[in-house]
Amino acid sequence: MCRLYFLNPKRSKYVCLGFYPDRSHRAFFELGGAKQAPLVFSPSLVSTLALHLPKLCEHLARGERYRCNEMSYRTQTVAENSARIALDRTSVTLRLPELKYLLVNLTTLANQLVWYKLDEADVSAYMQNAT
């Protein structure tokens, strides 16, 4: 089960919420692009993203640099109108309009992830019974 949201009209950047079979059917938040490996955020890292995303958008809108290193999460401005978000060695570059769209919808997405997280035990039990 997965919910997919595109961050731009070209559908080249996306956010996906869902249960990952290769990760014991736990809920995750994925941020990716059409031609790049996705970032897979645990629910706790979504909170970190939510904390830094408004600051990142503010700095980009003013043309200022921004940098954050927190555990495996890193973000920084890389050009006048874009920023790189990274987890470990994987990164995604988003333009300011994509970041703003993500920011506007992040509360809704985080709430959906909470609901997915609450259902993890039921999904795991169902998968064990099904196999």
Q: Is residue 66 part of a domain?
A: yes
How many structural domains compose the chain?
Answer: 1
Q: What is the pLDDT of residues 7-64, one digit of tens each?
A: 999 999 999 988 777 777 778 889 999 888 899 988 888 888 999 999 999 999 999 9
Q: What is the pTM of this model?
A: 0.84
DSSP secondary structure, 67-121, as one string:
EEEETTEEEEEEETTEEEEEETTEEEEEEHHHHHHHHHHHHHHHHHHHHHHHTHH
Q: What is the pLDDT of residues 4-19, one digit of tens each?
A: 999 999 999 999 988 7
Q: Is residue 82 part of a domain?
A: yes
Q: Is residue 56 part of a domain?
A: yes
Mean pLDDT for the stretch of residues 93-99: 95
